[in-house]
Amino acid sequence: MPYISLDEHLPGITGLLEYRQDTAKPIRELTQILLRGDSTLTQGERELIATLVSSKNQCKFCTAAHTAAADLLLGESETCELVKQDYENAPISAKMKALLAIAALVQQNGKNVTFEAITRAKEAGATDMEIHDTVLIAALFCLYNKYVDGLATFTPSNPEFYEKLGERIVNLGYNRPKYGFDEIKKQNESLIQSIS
Amino acid sequence: MAHIDLPEPLPGIRGLMAFRPFTAQPLNLLAEVLLRTDEGLSKGERELIATFVSSLNDCFFCQNIHGAVAQYYAKEDETLVEKVKRDYENAPISEKMKALLSIAASVQKGGKFVTESQVEKAKNLGATDIEIHDTVLIAAAFCMFNRYVDGLATFAPTDPEMYKARAKKIAEETGYALAKPQ
């Protein structure tokens, strides 16, 4: 049971973003810029950063949602799984490994990011903008994970829910859907009921 | 020295905002809507939560700038912010604020550390759903701001007067949404 009264058909972050839309707006905009805006990192790479941080924060909802998005964008599900298990040995570029190492340090605390970690990323070809965005994506997902778990939001356990959510954030991005959440609530209702 | 080349030698988050104005805009707007209202929690109480979490994260810039803003609102007690940072349980603040700060401290450790009994205690002391929501989101947002500021190794001035002057300007004139990096 969530600690505050939220729409029961909007699990995880979705209910929170509908609960207070004036705070949700800048959070959504920031996410849209960082994960879907112009960047020399692919959308799949950026979702991998979000997934790794969420997984280190043990936030089940965010980990499952961004894993689903990363899988769709990468066209396969092996890479994201291996990144969560051991990114240093995952089939990704040396630059991505160095950026994920920075993200993992940010997850612990900003002060833990070392000169060596930054140098490694730069030597692997990371630009200042890529390093900046990696740090800010990692920091933003610490916000999300703490927000979602700190208010004990509902975490569905059926994979189909996250497949649908993954499709939605890949196809529509992070802005609030123009037509609101009525359709999504109906969809969620049947998805959530189908397992209980 | 910062980990990336910043366009201007501005302190803390301000240098980062000059580096990437596009992301600065929603970041400033989030601070504005979360901190600059007296609905439910007062501006002073909101800044106190922000300061407390920044101090737990050991972020020098954020705890000093938000500490100065919180202190600006606490005119009746010149050392209130220091007392809260040192030992909030025994600070001269309401019991409700103590319960909310304990929730903020749990959020700083990890969302899952917030317990049902902590929330129940806050509610019994009069905290509303929206106040609990705002406490958790302010705490989570400062876990982001602190990591952003320290993760890129920005510099922070040590002169308390600089923070006081900036805090007065934020409180009286600019807020966060209008604050220019300069």
DSSP string over B68-129 = HHHHHH-TT-TTHHHHHHHHGGGSSS-HHHHHHHHHHHHHHH-GGG--HHHHHHHHHTT--H
**Token duo for residue B56:** 């737990």
Per-residue pLDDT tens digits for B132-177: 999 999 999 999 999 999 999 999 999 999 999 999 999 999 999 8
Per-residue pLDDT at A147 exceeds 90: yes
Per-residue pLDDT at A196 exceeds 50: no
Closest CB from B19, B111, B134 relative to A132: B19
CATH number of B12-174: 1.20.1290.10
Contact residues, A window 89-128, toward B, CB-based 8 Å cutoff: 102, 105-106, 109-111, 113, 115, 118, 128
| Residues of chain A contacting B134 with CB distance shorter than 8 Å | 20
| Residues of chain B contacting A110 with CB distance shorter than 8 Å | 57, 59, 146-152
What is the mean predicted confidence (pLDDT) over A115-123?
Answer: 98
Please judge whether A23 and B149 are an interchain contact, meaning their C-beta atoms are less than 8 angstroms apart. no
Closest CB from B22, B103, B143 relative to A143: B143
Total number of residues shown for chain B: 182
Per-residue pLDDT at B179 exceeds 70: no
| Residues of chain B contacting A19 with CB distance shorter than 8 Å | 133
Q: Using CA coordinates, name the residue in chain B closest to A107.
A: B147
| CB distance A50 to B163 below 8 Å | no
Q: Using CA coordinates, name the residue in chain A closest to B132.
A: A4
Closest CB from B26, B108, B137 relative to A147: B137
| Interface probe, candidates B118, B152, B154, B176, chain A, greatest A C-beta count within 10 A | B152
Label residue B182 by pLDDT band (50, 70, 90).
Answer: very low
Residue reference for tokens 């040192």: B86
At B5, phi and psi to the nearest 5? -75, 110
Angstroms from A192 CA to nearest CA on chain B: 23
Domain locations in chain B? Answer: 12-174
3-state SS assignment for residue A34? helix
Note whether ipTM > 0.85 here: yes
Per-residue pLDDT tens digits for A24-34: 999 999 999 99
Label residue A17 by pLDDT band (50, 70, 90).
Answer: very high
Q: What is the pLDDT of residue A23?
A: 97
Closest CB from B58, B119, B146 relative to A3: B119
Q: What is the dihedral angle through the alpha carbons of A85, B137, A2, A30, rounded to the nearest 10 degrees? A: -60
CA A107 – CA B59 distance, rounded (Å):
14
Per-residue pLDDT at B178 exceeds 90: no
Please judge whether A150 and B107 are an interchain contact, meaning their C-beta atoms are less than 8 angstroms apart. yes
| Residues of chain A contacting B35 with CB distance shorter than 8 Å | none
Closest CB from B4, B116, B140 relative to A146: B140
Please judge whether B5 and A128 are an interchain contact, meaning their C-beta atoms are less than 8 angstroms apart. yes
Q: Supply the DSSP string of A102-139, one letter for each residue.
A: HHHHHHH-GGG--HHHHHHHHHTT--HHHHHHHHHHHH
CA B47 – CA B31 distance, rounded (Å):
10
Per-residue pLDDT tens digits for B58-101: 999 999 999 999 999 999 999 999 999 999 999 999 999 999 99
Please judge whether A145 and B30 are an interchain contact, meaning their C-beta atoms are less than 8 angstroms apart. no
**Token duo for residue A145:** 């994970």
Q: How many CB atoms lie within 10 A of CB A157?
A: 11
Q: Using CA coordinates, name the residue in chain A closest to B28.
A: A26
Closest CB from B3, B114, B129 relative to A118: B3
Q: Using CA coordinates, name the residue in chain B closest to A148.
A: B111
Please judge whether B133 and A140 are an interchain contact, meaning their C-beta atoms are less than 8 angstroms apart. no
The correct CATH number of A12-193 out of 1.20.1290.10, 3.40.1030.10, 3.40.1160.10, 2.40.30.130 is 1.20.1290.10
Please judge whether B27 and A30 are an interchain contact, meaning their C-beta atoms are less than 8 angstroms apart. yes
